[in-house]
């Protein structure tokens, strides 16, 4: 990444959660029959793939018993002071008549990626953007069913959601201060509405901005990797919390909750890889989860994990 940045060569990057298997490709070398991307409207394809069928999409989540066992382990770590926030995730098996290409072309999201028919994602969450020497981050924490009466006020006044959100904002603000200066929270807890196949949801985000040093493009890789893993999908303090995640989840996240994006030679835009489906063997799994704090209710968190298993294709259910 530093080489391409230093030489101002546009490239795509796909970085897994543990930063062990990064994929870095010059944009000129990407084949659209293998990799498709749409990054805030910057895409490597034209046209689409129309759906002429009724969608089937069934989910088979982890049992509540298994989820609660992991949840209880996290609560023990929380009460012992090892962590303040842990993002707990699980894979949910799904059965659908949609292909990954159909999901990619028909989903509505700021960020979409189809990777060699191995995984597809449609993420609403910006990780960082770099433009004209400024870096901005948009941590997303807090999800609620939009059809619940007074949903926006309920999520904004929820103590657990507030504690979770402010913890992540503080974590990412500290992360950015390592590689930039004049860090400020420009917007705190604003709401986006997302349409899905079966329901609408509201999600809460904040905006953090700061100034990068001159010639930042020469160390563009160092900048990104210093910020990983993303705070919104790990927790705080980050190093210890990642250890706890590996202990309690007991599965390989892979590229899920990593980041992907592009550098155009001067500016950069990338997303957290959430809302993610992956082929494992002959099955399809949708990986999802949420933040756990001492305020968390296990039944609500389990429901949130299931609610996040969706495809954002409206009007065809």
With a CB cutoff of 8 Å and minimum separation 6, the contacts of 114 are 35, 36, 37, 100, 101, 104, 120
Q: What is the pLDDT along the chain (317 residues), one digit of tens a residue?
A: 999 999 999 999 999 999 999 999 999 999 999 999 999 999 999 988 889 899 999 999 999 999 999 999 999 999 999 999 999 999 999 999 999 999 999 999 999 999 999 999 999 999 999 999 999 998 888 888 888 899 999 999 988 889 888 988 999 999 999 999 999 999 999 998 877 666 788 889 999 999 999 999 999 999 999 999 999 899 999 999 999 999 999 999 999 999 999 999 999 999 999 999 999 999 999 999 999 999 999 999 999 999 999 998 865 44
What pLDDT, on the 0 to 100 scale, is given for residue 317? 40
| DSSP structural state of residue 275 | S
- Does a structural domain hold residue 205? no
Residue 198: inside a domain, yes or no?
A: no
DSSP state letter for 117? T
**Residue 180 belongs to a domain:** no
The pLDDT score that the predictor gives to residue 233 is: 94
Residue 148 lies in a domain: no
| Domain span holding position 96 | 2-139+214-307
Provide the number of structural domains found in the chain.
Answer: 1
Which is nearest to 113 in space by CA: 123, 98, 102? 123
| Residue 260 and residue 271 in contact, taking contact as beta carbons nearer than 8 Å | yes
The CATH number linked to 101 is: 3.60.120.10
Residue 49: count other Cβ atoms within 10 Å of its Cβ.
12
Q: What is the pLDDT of residue 316?
A: 46
CA angle 156, 209, 9 (to 5 degrees): 130
- Evaluate whether residue 197 is within a structural domain: no
Report d(CA 110, CA 132) in Å as an integer: 21
Q: Is there a contact between 282 and 77 (Cβ–Cβ < 8 Å)? A: no
Quote the pLDDT of residue 117: 97
Helices 298-307/64-79 angle, 10° precision: 120
Residue 222 lies in a domain: yes
Strand partners, 286: 92, 277
Residue at 195 is within a domain: no
**94 within a domain of the structure (yes/no):** yes
3-state class (DSSP) for residue 313: coil
């Amino acid at each position: 990444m530093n080489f391409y940045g230093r030489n101002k060569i546009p490239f795509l990057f796909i970085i897994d959660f543990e930063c062990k298997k990064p994929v870095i490709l010059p944009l000129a070398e990407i084949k659209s029959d293998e990799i498709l991307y749409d990054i805030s409207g910057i895409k490597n394809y034209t046209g689409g793939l129309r759906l002429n069928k009724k969608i089937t999409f069934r989910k088979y989540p982890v049992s509540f018993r298994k989820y609660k066992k992991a949840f209880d382990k996290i609560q023990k770590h929380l009460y012992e002071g090892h962590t303040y926030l842990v993002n707990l995730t699980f894979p949910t098996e799904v059965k659908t008549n949609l292909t990954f290409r159909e999901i990619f072309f028909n989903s509505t999201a700021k960020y979409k990626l189809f990777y060699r028919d191995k995984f597809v994602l449609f993420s609403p969450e910006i990780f960082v953007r770099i433009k004209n020497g400024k870096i901005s981050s948009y941590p997303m924490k807090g999800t609620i069913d939009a059809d619940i009466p007074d949903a926006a006020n309920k999520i904004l006044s929820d103590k657990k959601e507030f504690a979770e959100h402010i913890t992540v904002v503080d974590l990412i603000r500290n992360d950015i201060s390592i590689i930039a200066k004049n860090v400020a929270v420009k917007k705190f807890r604003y709401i986006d509405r997302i349409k899905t196949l079966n329901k609408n949801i509201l999600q809460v985000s904040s905006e953090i901005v700061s100034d990068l040093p001159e010639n930042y493009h020469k160390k563009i890789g160092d900048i990104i990797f210093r910020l990983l893993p993303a705070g919104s999908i790990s927790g705080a303090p980050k190093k210890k919390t990642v250890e706890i995640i590996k202990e309690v989840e007991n599965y390989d996240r892979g590229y899920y909750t990593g980041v992907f994006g592009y550098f155009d030679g001067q500016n950069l835009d990338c997303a957290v890889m959430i809302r993610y489906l992956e082929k494992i063997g002959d099955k399809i799994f949708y990986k999802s989860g949420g933040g756990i704090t001492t305020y968390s209710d296990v039944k609500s968190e389990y429901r949130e994990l299931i609610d996040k298993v969706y495809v954002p294709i409206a009007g065809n259910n």
